[in-house]
Amino acid sequence: MTLQRRFTFWLIALAAVILFLWVFSPILLPFVAGMALAYLLDPVADRLETIGMSRMWATLTIMVLFVLVFVLVLVLLLPVLGNQLASLIEAMPDYVAQLHGLFSEHFGESIRQLSGLGASEIKSSLGNLMSQGAGWLANLMKSIWSGGQALLSLVALFVVTPVVAFYLLLDWDRMMAKIDGWLPREHRDLIHRLIDEIDSAVAGFVRGQVSVCLILGSFYAIGLAVLGLKFGLLIGLGAGLISFIPYVGATTGLVLSLGVALVQFWPNWHMIAAVLAVFSIGQFLEGNILQPKLVGNRVGLHPVWLMFALFAFGYLFGFVGMLVAVPVSAAIGVLARFALEQYLTSPLYYGAPAAAGTTKGAEDEE
């Protein structure tokens, strides 16, 4: 009966959290972003405290520096990125039409021989495929923009998030101590162990992945800009920043870059190959250097499960869901592994207690 009550309690708590996220997701973005920022910067505040700073001065120093860097980046990059985004959305139909013409002219005969379709059917299929792809991309960009506006205005986001992060960072240790005082004494050590595993997985993945995204975004943006690719800065930074979704960032950036490069540089294959080389080098760096060194396997989640979690939470709760997908997935992974450990040592796995004892004795004799 006690086990049933515990299960019922945690089931109700889980349902309450899901209901809370679903109901308040339109206004949660600045608060979730502030919590994530405080979580990421807490080790920095702890380090400053060890060198003699008070928690107040450490928090003030961190937030002032963060806001200055953020404003500087915003002032320097936002106008350029905004103009490139508007130009890309406006030029998308023309790019699709030109790509359609290039594929029909140079590859139409090969596709016709392989598929057995007529020229008009191939032209129609290519046109539909590219139009659907361009429409999906344009709708994605617009939904991200309009979704962000629906969640909260940008001004409110930029104002509320630093304030939330400041107060949470200032009171982080006190909050953790208060929550620790609420834990049931009987299971306190076990809960501490599970929380430490979750914290290690989330912190290692998030901090490492943020570094990977920033490095990749900078590399792609600089590489494409040096090649003179139109919208290179926007595509490169965008591909890097969404690299936290396995394979999606690089694939999206590569498809966009090659599409723009074909229209811009055709028939100069050297420049098109150079654009391809930028993403090939970026993938090599990510897979062989950045991911192993900065992230490793700390989150303990398979990439397929991680992608599913990101898309599922994003679909259910919007951008806020994508922010909480990784920590929630990591927590579920830790708890699932713990449950599996308990199952593998339980009578449910071995069978009846007598049978379990007999099996254990036979193993000892061997």
Question: 230: helix, coil or strand?
Answer: coil
CA distance 97 to 118: 20
Least confident interval from 123-137, 187-201, 297-311: 123-137
Cis bond upstream, residue 267 (ω within 30): yes
pLDDT 10s digits, 272-330: 888 888 888 888 888 788 777 776 555 556 677 777 877 787 777 776 777 777 778 77
pLDDT of res. 362: 47
pLDDT over threshold 60, residue 39:
yes
The distance between the two most distant Cα atoms of the chain, rounded to a whole number of Å, is 78
Q: What angle do CA 5, 331, 209 make, to 5 degrees?
A: 170
Residue with tokens 């905004």: 82
Report how far Cα 364 is from the mean position of its chain's Cα atoms.
48
Q: What angle do CA 79, 80, 84 make, to 5 degrees?
A: 115
CA distance 225 to 236: 9
- Contact present, 206 and 40 (Cβ < 8 Å): yes
pLDDT of res. 177: 82
pLDDT 10s digits, 54-107: 888 988 888 888 888 888 877 877 777 777 777 777 777 777 777 767 766 665
Q: How confident is the model at residue 127 (pLDDT cuts 50, 70, 90)?
A: low
Q: For the chain, what is the radius of gyration of the CA atoms?
A: 26
Least confident interval from 143-152, 190-199, 257-266: 143-152
> What's the whole-number mean pLDDT along residues 108-131?
54
363 token code pair: 């193993």
pLDDT of res. 151: 43
Mean pLDDT of the chain: 74
pLDDT of res. 324: 77
CA distance 159 to 117: 57
Q: Which amino acid is at 51?
A: I
228: left (phi over 0), alpha (psi -120 to 50) or beta: left
More confident residue, 355 or 19: 19
Residues in the chain, overall count: 366
CA distance 149 to 319: 11
pLDDT of res. 301: 64
What share of the chain in percent tops pLDDT 70?
Answer: 75
pLDDT of res. 12: 82
- Contact present, 313 and 328 (Cβ < 8 Å): yes
Contact residues for 307 (Cβ-Cβ < 8 A; gap 6+): 245, 246, 247, 248
pLDDT of res. 176: 82
Q: How confident is the model at residue 356 (pLDDT cuts 50, 70, 90)?
A: very low
44 token code pair: 């920095």
Burial class (CB in 10 A: 0-12, 13-18, 19+), 127: middle
Question: 106: helix, coil or strand?
Answer: helix
More confident residue, 1 or 140: 140
Q: Which amino acid is at 110?
A: S
Q: How confident is the model at residue 193 (pLDDT cuts 50, 70, 90)?
A: confident
Report how far Cα 319 is from the mean position of its chain's Cα atoms.
10
pLDDT over threshold 70, residue 191:
yes
pLDDT 10s digits, 144-171: 444 444 444 555 667 778 888 888 888 8
pLDDT 10s digits, 311-327: 787 777 776 777 777 77
Q: Where are the alpha helices (DSSP H) in the chain?
A: 2-24, 29-50, 55-115, 119-151, 154-170, 172-182, 188-226, 232-241, 248-265, 269-285, 303-344, 347-350, 353-365
pLDDT of res. 20: 81
CA distance 140 to 248: 13
Query: Any idea of the CA torsion for 92, 97, 98, 103, to the nearest 10 degrees?
Result: 120
Least confident interval from 71-85, 121-135, 161-175, 190-204: 121-135
Model's pTM, two decimal places?
Answer: 0.65
Query: Any idea of the CA torsion for 85, 89, 90, 94, to the nearest 10 degrees?
Result: 130
Residue whose C-alpha is closest to residue 290's, from 199, 232, 218, 237: 218
